[in-house]
Structure 1
Amino acid sequence: MGNADFGYPSKAKGDSNGVQRVEVPPKQPFFKSLNNNLKETFFPDDPLRQFKNKPASKKFILGLQYFFPIFEWAPRYTFQFLKSDLISGITIASLAIPQGISYAKLANLPPIYGLYSSFIPPLVYAMMGSSKDLAVGTVAVASLLTASMLGSEVHATENPTLYLHLAFTATFFAGVFQASLGLLRLGFIVDFLSHATIVGFMGGAATVVCLQQLKGILGLEQFTHSTDIISVMRSVFSQTHQWRWESGVLGCCFLFFLLVTRYFSKRKPKFFWISAMAPLTTVILGSLLVYLTHAEKHGVQVIGDLKKGLNPPSITNLVFVSPYLMTAIKTGIITGVIAMAEGIAVGRSFAMFKNYNIDGNKEMIAFGMMNIVGSCTSCYLTTGPFSRSAVNFNAGCKTAVSNIVMALAVMMTLLFLTPFFYYTPLVVLSAIIMSAMLGLIDYEAAIHLFKVDKFDFIVCMGAYLGVVFADIEIGLIIAVTISLLRLLLFVARPRTVVLGNIPNSKIYRNIEHYPNANQVPGVLILEIDAPIYFANSSYLRERIIRWIDEEEDRLKSSGECSLQYVLLDMSTVGNIDTSGISMLDEVKKILDRRDLKLVLANPVAEVVKKLDKAKFIENLGQEWIHLTVGDAVAACNFMLHTCNKRSPAKEESEQWNNIV
């Protein structure tokens, strides 16, 4: 690996034996170096490259297309696309309407606000989103989070107006947070929610949501506001005398119908529309059944009146005063992060199937703007749910126009069809929610985590058990904490291994992984498998010295030649700080006292620059820093001339010299 691989012209020079050594990269001005580092961190996709050497008018158009991708693809839109998007939009509308009503009830909001939230946000996303397949709407987990976090401060039934206003305010702050992350290019923060964390958190939240729906299935009027399984089950079984068999039978029948249709659609993907239409079918059948039998007079609870009309403005309802401001901010940030992580993950998954890319930062801006606009138009938090997006994908959508079609269908519902939902039984909404949530309990992913990575499985189960037995916030905190501890553990305790030579080659590999690899006589080759920072420098110093002690003891007990060189393979050391440099300097001093020589192999350009500035290279000697482990071994004087007796090690050494 030469300096050209570091991004610099190769200036490596050979010694008298023709061995290539590492040269110090040319110095760069401070501000240029800083600019390059910041650009690589925050702009790895280099979104500004398309603006270079363009006239002002073209830059304006490109800027408009960057923030509003609809202006980029709309001129190429065709009638064939419209036919596909029309079918997809109508299909997801049939799912969005009953889900919107159901999830609003889950958030302890009037059902009409679920329809409001399925009208305005999809229109905003269609203009600003970069995904062709994402279908925007409310989601169960964010709805439950909203109910849990806001409900701890304000009771939804005792003070419904304040609760509603806080829901709008939390949505506003979620939007501001999401858009800020996108504009500031801080999307990598979402990456701290690992796959294992999301699997466990979503599974736990889905379990909690299903348990919460026992209230609707059993027709209970009083129910706990806690989300943990113990409180829920205590609330259920302490009211056995209030269970309504009519509601229970109806709920079980509709839940069975929804699960059967979903199973059939999964087995026969071309019949995806059966599962997509099933929720609306249950709403229609349930409403007709209640209307014809007057079941509402026999204990079956119904939605009741839904007022006609489009979204009323709510900008004046946002709450920016104490004592509820911090509650709204905290709720907005937590629900915003979860919704954003889910939406981006879903969008990327379907983009992969169609072989196109979506910009994570653009998506954050789009999510943020649709929630800011939504909070001002009587909507609560929305994102791109998996179930709705999967239906959109399977229905053959071509562009985000499917979201526009869905929004128009919801608009027609708001204007003309809301009276028809009067007799919709709440038990049907509970069955719809339970059916959707059972699909989020991904036990197969948990089993896969257990087989592949036990630590990831612990993270997953920590999130799941935290959500189920404590509450959603604690479960999320547990999962993120375990993930961060794992990350810190990897940084603070990096792996170091001894390398040996694969016979008849110049390849060096871990001797524990490759038992046939031979250690080079007189040379201890160690690979450091992480950047060297203050957090791990002390550990690495102690570990390197311990490797040296163990190697010397081994050589002494076997009667082989003594150790002369310690070679550090730094190919995976991406960076080093001052503590790391001090550690290397201390190791060199310890080796000098033991009459051993320190040799470095394959340090990257950033490490070489810092070692040069710290005068470490000058102190070590540039001839002891090499491009490859093979070059470094060839340059070492490992002729075991200090041995007084002929040993197998000497014969191996001579054979090795012949190879080199």
Structure 2
Amino acid sequence: MASSAMGSCKSEEVDIEKSTQSEWVLNPPEPPSPWRVVADSVRKTISLYKLKFSSHKDQPCTTLLSLLHLFFPILSWATNYSATKFRKDLLAGLTIASLCIPQSIGYATLAHLDPQYGLYTSVVPPLVYAVMGTSREIAIGPVAVVSLLLSSMMEKLVDPAADPVGYTKLMLLATLFAGIFQTSFGLLRLGFLVDFLSHAAIVGFVAGAAIVIGLQQLKGLLGITHFTTKTDVVSVMKAVSKAVHDPWNPRNFILGFSFLVFILTSRFLGKRKKKLFWLASISPLVSVILSTLIVYLTKADKSGVKIVKHVRGGLNPSSIHLLAFNNPYIGEVAKIGLVVAVIALTESIAVGRSFASIKGYQLDGNKEMMSIGLANIIGSLTSCYVATGSFSRTAVNYAAGCESLVSNIVMAMTVLISLQFFTKLLYYTPTAILASVILSALPGLIHISEAYKIWKVDKFDFLASLGAFFGVLFASVEIGLLVAVVISFSKIILISIRPGTETLGKLPGTDLFCDVYQYPMAVKIPGVMIIRVKSALLCFANANFVRERIIKWVTEDEPEDDKRNSRNTIQLVILDTSNLVNIDTSGIASLEELHRSLSSHGKQLAIANPRWQVIHKLKVSNFVSKIGGRVFLTVEEAVGCKSQC
């Protein structure tokens, strides 16, 4: 009697506990509306700024200081700056300046701009970033991929050879738009936009761009006068083939190739022996100096060696008057600015995060966007084109032992001094050397090992990488980007439309229910089929596919290794919705059809572990009442209700 009474009490306690858990599931607070979510997001963004000043509201000076610290991080770390750190930053700044000067001139020619614009871009943007940026190692300036991207899109609007002034105006306007977009991304905390370009797409795009850039440098390396403006490999190779068959001067190739071998050799030695990193860093500048002396002393320019000629010196001139907002191409220029803004941010943030992780500190993505954006806005007003973080110069800056962004200031001041006093010395610099400097930087942009890793991990990602690579190589830079984005989004859409389902079994000795294919030891519950949807959203795109898949498993042919479980004895189908974050009306309609189909075969449907938004919508649509209230907190609890079905 006593034992039966105790058993009865325990049974009642279990029933009460299960009833309580069901109440937890069926009666949660109403989830916030979409407008509430947006309002909360805006409120949180504003509160981040208010929080900085709330403790100092009665102290205006302290509040102003906090505001300055927020927007100018240099004020935070400058108080702990020391002479030892300055010595390291001075060496690092001089080292990257020796690499920056020849690269900047080369990248400006790649962008179809006069050489001085590359040097201008290595002065103002690094100074702006130095006071606003959060990365300690990143080196700001012109980069090869952005230069190629700008020129390939801009020359479709204005021919740089026929109208160099009009072309330069559009480049400066595109830089302003890029800066505005980048700053807006940071202010509105829209960093996710940069993630539209996947890692695999960037690997393929950069590799393709590196090859295209290399092929275009054959113009300078071979001393070709007439060359195609197209960027695809077929057009470039046709232009090279035609030029080689015409009379051409081999002195350009001999001079350029000789110094290319010198730069690559010094880089190889720098990688083999870390103490010789400086040799690889200064080799481009040494090449420029020596080749310029050779041409000047031998009068090689009289014998057909092409030279840079005039490079305008002096401080960065104002370019406000060149920003023509009444230009008929302003809409197209704004689109170019948007594309370039995303590409530049992607490269810069990727570079910054790579070295920040090595040093063990976090990079503020939104502040990075704002700092680079403002650097480009101010740059567009001071004769600069789009600047961003350079991987090659950042790597050199890190290897040189930089401690802070003072190295950027040292680099900018060195370039400024060169602009002020040494531009006349660049008159006899051969264009073949600039081509060699750019060619020497390209191997670092082609990551074969990374492409192989992508192939091993995800074949669809590798397809996106190949699409970007061949798109850039055989069509154009923008087509390559478009192909990569389309393939990446196709992957997302395909996964969304065909999310897949998995049958669950109970792992012996545990309360866990897992995929029976991943865990063959998992035991299926007699008379019960447990199915989990492998998607975060059940919507119009995938609802019918999921419903048909479940009905096929339950009421038609089962997988071969499930036939011995007597399909006709299944009484209960449990849908584990733990992965499901949200559901729309199409998803609910598909569940109702699933319920009707199962009921017609004498089977019942139960829902386990629904999320907040899901259970709210199922209740509002009266679906919970249609399935007899069979909604449970866990799969195990749902299995326990089989006897009631």
TM-score, scaled to structure 2: 0.92
Task: Indicate conservation of the 8 Å contact 2:26/2:631, yes or no.
Answer: no
Task: Give 1:587's aligned residue.
Answer: 594
When structure 1 is superposed on structure 2, of 71-80 and 289-298 the one drifting more is 71-80
Matches within 5 A, 1:473-552: 473-530=478-535, 531-550=537-556
- 1:265 is paired with a residue whose SS is helix
Task: Give 2:125's aligned residue.
Answer: 121
1:317 has 2:317 as partner: no
Q: Residue by residue, what CA displacement relative to the aligned partner does 1:81-106 show, whole Å, maximum 9, x if unpaired?
A: 22222121111111111111110010
Task: Indicate conservation of the 8 Å contact 1:522/1:638, yes or no.
Answer: no
One-letter amino acid of the structure 1 residue matched with residue 144 of structure 2:
A
Task: Indicate conservation of the 8 Å contact 2:201/2:468, yes or no.
Answer: yes
One-letter amino acid of the structure 2 residue matched with residue 525 of structure 1:
I
Query: Residues 135 and 417 of structure 1: is their aligned pair in 2 closer, same or farther, counting only changes over 3 Å?
Result: same
Task: Indicate conservation of the 8 Å contact 2:553/2:559, yes or no.
Answer: no
Task: Give 1:174's aligned residue.
Answer: 178
Task: Indicate conservation of the 8 Å contact 2:130/2:406, yes or no.
Answer: yes
Task: Indicate conservation of the 8 Å contact 2:104/2:119, yes or no.
Answer: yes
Task: Indicate conservation of the 8 Å contact 1:213/1:430, yes or no.
Answer: yes
1:231 has 2:239 as partner: no
Question: Residue 203 of structure 2: which of 182, 199, 202 is its match?
Answer: 199
Q: Residue by residue, what CA displacement relative to the aligned partner does 1:583-614 show, whole Å, maximum 9, x if unpaired?
A: 22222222222221111222222322332333
> For residues 23 and 14 of structure 1, what CA distance do their matches in structure 2 show?
17
One-letter amino acid of the structure 1 residue matched with residue 508 of structure 2:
P
Question: Residue 283 of structure 2: which of 274, 278, 287 is its match?
Answer: 278
> For residues 542 and 28 of structure 1, what CA distance do their matches in structure 2 show?
31
Matches within 5 A, 1:347-496: 347-496=352-501
Task: Give 2:148's aligned residue.
Answer: 144
Deviation at 1:192, TM superposition (A): 0.9
Query: Residues 522 and 359 of structure 1: is their aligned pair in 2 closer, same or farther, counting only changes over 3 Å?
Result: same
1:308 has 2:313 as partner: yes
> For residues 102 and 526 of structure 2, what CA distance do their matches in structure 1 show?
74
Matches within 5 A, 1:103-118: 103-118=107-122
> For residues 45 and 138 of structure 2, what CA distance do their matches in structure 1 show?
24
1:96 has 2:100 as partner: yes
> For residues 40 and 557 of structure 1, what CA distance do their matches in structure 2 show?
53
> For residues 195 and 39 of structure 2, what CA distance do their matches in structure 1 show?
18
When structure 1 is superposed on structure 2, of 403-412 and 38-47 the one drifting more is 38-47
Task: Indicate conservation of the 8 Å contact 2:214/2:439, yes or no.
Answer: yes
Task: Indicate conservation of the 8 Å contact 1:42/1:186, yes or no.
Answer: no
- 1:261 is paired with a residue whose SS is helix
Task: Give 2:3's aligned residue.
Answer: none
Task: Indicate conservation of the 8 Å contact 1:279/1:432, yes or no.
Answer: yes
When structure 1 is superposed on structure 2, of 219-228 and 602-611 the one drifting more is 602-611
Query: Residues 85 and 43 of structure 1: is their aligned pair in 2 closer, same or farther, counting only changes over 3 Å?
Result: farther
Task: Indicate conservation of the 8 Å contact 2:500/2:546, yes or no.
Answer: no
Deviation at 1:26, TM superposition (A): 4.0
Deviation at 1:477, TM superposition (A): 0.5
One-letter amino acid of the structure 2 residue matched with residue 292 of structure 1:
L
> For residues 149 and 164 of structure 1, what CA distance do their matches in structure 2 show?
13
- 2:384 is paired with a residue whose SS is coil
Task: Give 1:255's aligned residue.
Answer: 260
Deviation at 1:51, TM superposition (A): 3.3
Q: Residue by residue, what CA displacement relative to the aligned partner does 1:401-449 show, whole Å, maximum 9, x if unpaired?
A: 1111111111111111111211111101000111111210111111111
Task: Give 1:658's aligned residue.
Answer: none
Query: Residues 626 and 558 of structure 1: is their aligned pair in 2 closer, same or farther, counting only changes over 3 Å?
Result: closer
> For residues 45 and 625 of structure 1, what CA distance do their matches in structure 2 show?
40
> For residues 548 and 567 of structure 2, what CA distance do their matches in structure 1 show?
25
Task: Give 2:52's aligned residue.
Answer: 51
Query: Residues 152 and 552 of structure 1: is their aligned pair in 2 closer, same or farther, counting only changes over 3 Å?
Result: closer
> For residues 344 and 127 of structure 2, what CA distance do their matches in structure 1 show?
18
Deviation at 1:66, TM superposition (A): 2.4
When structure 1 is superposed on structure 2, of 70-79 and 190-199 the one drifting more is 70-79
Query: Residues 152 and 292 of structure 1: is their aligned pair in 2 closer, same or farther, counting only changes over 3 Å?
Result: same
Q: Residue by residue, what CA displacement relative to the aligned partner does 1:539-577 show, whole Å, maximum 9, x if unpaired?
A: 211122122124679777765761111111111112222
> For residues 91 and 56 of structure 2, what CA distance do their matches in structure 1 show?
41
Q: Residue by residue, what CA displacement relative to the aligned partner does 1:194-226 show, whole Å, maximum 9, x if unpaired?
A: 001000000010000000000011111110000
One-letter amino acid of the structure 1 residue matched with residue 622 of structure 2:
K
Deviation at 1:479, TM superposition (A): 0.6
1:625 has 2:595 as partner: no
When structure 1 is superposed on structure 2, of 240-249 and 108-117 the one drifting more is 240-249
For structure 1, the 5+ residue unaligned runs are 1-12, 640-660
Task: Give 1:9's aligned residue.
Answer: none
Task: Indicate conservation of the 8 Å contact 1:523/1:638, yes or no.
Answer: no
TM-score, scaled to structure 1: 0.90
Question: Residue 616 of structure 1: which of 616, 623, 638 is its match?
Answer: 623
- 2:189 is paired with a residue whose SS is coil
- 1:489 is paired with a residue whose SS is helix
One-letter amino acid of the structure 1 residue matched with residue 632 of structure 2:
H
- 1:420 is paired with a residue whose SS is helix
When structure 1 is superposed on structure 2, of 552-561 and 46-55 the one drifting more is 552-561
Q: How many residues align?
A: 625
Task: Give 1:77's aligned residue.
Answer: 81
Task: Indicate conservation of the 8 Å contact 2:182/2:372, yes or no.
Answer: yes
> For residues 586 and 59 of structure 1, what CA distance do their matches in structure 2 show?
61
Query: Residues 574 and 266 of structure 1: is their aligned pair in 2 closer, same or farther, counting only changes over 3 Å?
Result: farther
Percent identical among aligned pairs is: 45
Task: Give 1:23's aligned residue.
Answer: 25
> For residues 435 and 577 of structure 1, what CA distance do their matches in structure 2 show?
54
Query: Residues 581 and 439 of structure 1: is their aligned pair in 2 closer, same or farther, counting only changes over 3 Å?
Result: same
> For residues 272 and 504 of structure 2, what CA distance do their matches in structure 1 show?
50
One-letter amino acid of the structure 2 residue matched with residue 613 of structure 1:
V
Task: Give 2:160's aligned residue.
Answer: 156
When structure 1 is superposed on structure 2, of 238-247 and 406-415 the one drifting more is 238-247
Deviation at 1:309, TM superposition (A): 0.7
1:208 has 2:212 as partner: yes
For structure 2, the 5+ residue unaligned runs are 1-12
Query: Residues 292 and 456 of structure 1: is their aligned pair in 2 closer, same or farther, counting only changes over 3 Å?
Result: same
Task: Indicate conservation of the 8 Å contact 1:552/1:563, yes or no.
Answer: no
Query: Residues 611 and 272 of structure 1: is their aligned pair in 2 closer, same or farther, counting only changes over 3 Å?
Result: farther
Query: Residues 279 and 467 of structure 1: is their aligned pair in 2 closer, same or farther, counting only changes over 3 Å?
Result: same
Task: Give 2:7's aligned residue.
Answer: none
- 1:598 is paired with a residue whose SS is strand
Deviation at 1:60, TM superposition (A): 4.2
Task: Indicate conservation of the 8 Å contact 1:521/1:561, yes or no.
Answer: no
Query: Residues 356 and 40 of structure 1: is their aligned pair in 2 closer, same or farther, counting only changes over 3 Å?
Result: farther
One-letter amino acid of the structure 2 residue matched with residue 465 of structure 1:
F
> For residues 342 and 599 of structure 2, what CA distance do their matches in structure 1 show?
53
- 2:140 is paired with a residue whose SS is coil
Query: Residues 510 and 399 of structure 1: is their aligned pair in 2 closer, same or farther, counting only changes over 3 Å?
Result: same
> For residues 35 and 560 of structure 1, what CA distance do their matches in structure 2 show?
47
1:602 has 2:605 as partner: no
Task: Indicate conservation of the 8 Å contact 1:258/1:275, yes or no.
Answer: yes
Task: Give 1:243's aligned residue.
Answer: 248
Task: Give 1:6's aligned residue.
Answer: none
Q: Residue by residue, what CA displacement relative to the aligned partner does 1:104-138 show, whole Å, maximum 9, x if unpaired?
A: 01011010111000000001111111111111000
